[in-house]
Amino acid sequence: MVNGLCGLIVAASNYPLYVHEPESPVPRGLRARLSLRPSIRPLANTTLTDTCSSLIVNGLHGRLAGPFDLGIEGGECVALSGPSGVGKSLLLRMIADLEPARGRVELDGVDRDRMPAPAFRRQVTYVAADAGWWADIVADHMAYPERARALLPELGLADALFEAPVATLSTGQRQRLALVRAISQHPRFLLLDEPTSALDPEATARVEALLARLREQGTGLLVVTHDAAQAVRIATRRLRVTPGGLEDETP
């Protein structure tokens, strides 16, 4: 089903390319039923590599939602919309193996159940709208401090925030720092639950620019948003979540 579908890697960029090396973190403290596009048109100044990246969801369902069928390629952004309570966040959490569910999830052709859960979640990383913080200082949450620090200016965050107590952060700062924490792990796919819900227009624009850059580098994005205009700006495909599955809203 995914033959010939490869992630996009930027050949000429001001940013280093992502290399999915083995993780050794050292923190301080379809068509919407199997909806895969049949081909990828390279972006300007990009080349296709021989390394495919795909996330496939088949018949995934929980007690109150689904079944869901979905396919995402590296370098693609799929926006999820739908009314509150329909199961958008639940779908992301089921894909990330954070909620009980039946069905099948495959990363690059490998069944999720055959992978250690921490390894899968480093490659398919979920970021909640209000992410959890378990230590007092921001830096204690960062497995890759140098990578994380490098992302701060891109999101309009001061370097001093790296050593700040979490309790002193605003909601918007916490939301952006949670994104930094996830991106610094270099996942293949990001599952983002309303990543700009607490941000002003300027900060939202910075996040959207970063997501566009990640797409160009081959990261796949699945983004829940209630902002229809944002979905148009950032997404290559738009799907609506319903109690019985997904409906394609891509023009």
Q: Which two tokens stand for residue 218?
A: 């081959």
- 71 has which bridge partners? 56
pLDDT, tens only, 11-46 = 223 333 333 333 334 333 332 333 333 222 333 333
CATH topology of domain 8-248: Rossmann fold (3.40.50)
In the chain, where the domains are located: 8-248
Neighbours of 118 (CB within 10 A): 9
pLDDT, tens only, 208-226 = 999 999 999 999 999 999 9
- Averages of pLDDT over runs of 10 residues in the chain (251 residues) are 34 31 36 30 32 86 89 97 92 94 95 94 95 93 95 96 95 96 96 96 98 97 96 97 91 81
- Smallest CA-to-CA distance from 7 within 16, 21, 15, 19 is with 19
Q: What is the pTM of this model?
A: 0.79
